[in-house]
Amino acid sequence: MNPAVRYITRTGVLLAIALAVQFIKLPQPVTGPVVNAILLLAAIYVGVSGGIIIGLFTPVAAFMVGILPPPMAPLIPVIMAANMVLVVVFNWAGRYNKYFGALVAAAAKFLTFYISLNYVLVFLGITLPPALVAAFGLPQLITAMIGGFAAALIAIRYPQKS
User: Measured between alpha carbons, how far is residue 19 from residues 10, 39, 90, 107 in Å?
Assistant: 14, 12, 21, 24
pLDDT of residue 102 exceeding 80 = yes
Which of the two residues, 127 and 154, has the higher pLDDT score?
A: 154
Q: Within 13 Å and on the Cβ side, how many CA atoms surround 95?
A: 4
Burial 106-115 (b: 16+ CB within 10 A, else e): bbbbbebbbe
Percent of the chain residues topping a pLDDT of 70: 99
For the chain, give every domain's residue range. Answer: 3-157
The DSSP symbol for 72 reads G
If 0-12 CB within 10 Å is exposed, 13-18 middle and 19+ buried, where does residue 66 land?
Answer: exposed
The CATH code of the domain at 3-157 is 1.10.1760.20
C-alpha to C-alpha distance for 17 and 69, rounded to whole angstroms: 22
Question: CA 79, 18, 13: angle at the middle one, nearest 5?
Answer: 130
pLDDT score at 162: 56
Q: What is the pLDDT of residue 73?
A: 86
Query: pLDDT digit string (tens) for 22-78?
Result: 999 888 899 999 999 999 999 999 999 999 999 999 999 989 888 888 878 888 999
The answer for residues whose C-beta is within 8 angstroms of residue 112's C-beta and 6 or more apart is: 78, 81, 82, 85
pLDDT value, residue 28:
86
What is the C-alpha separation between 109 and 76, in angstroms, rounded? 14
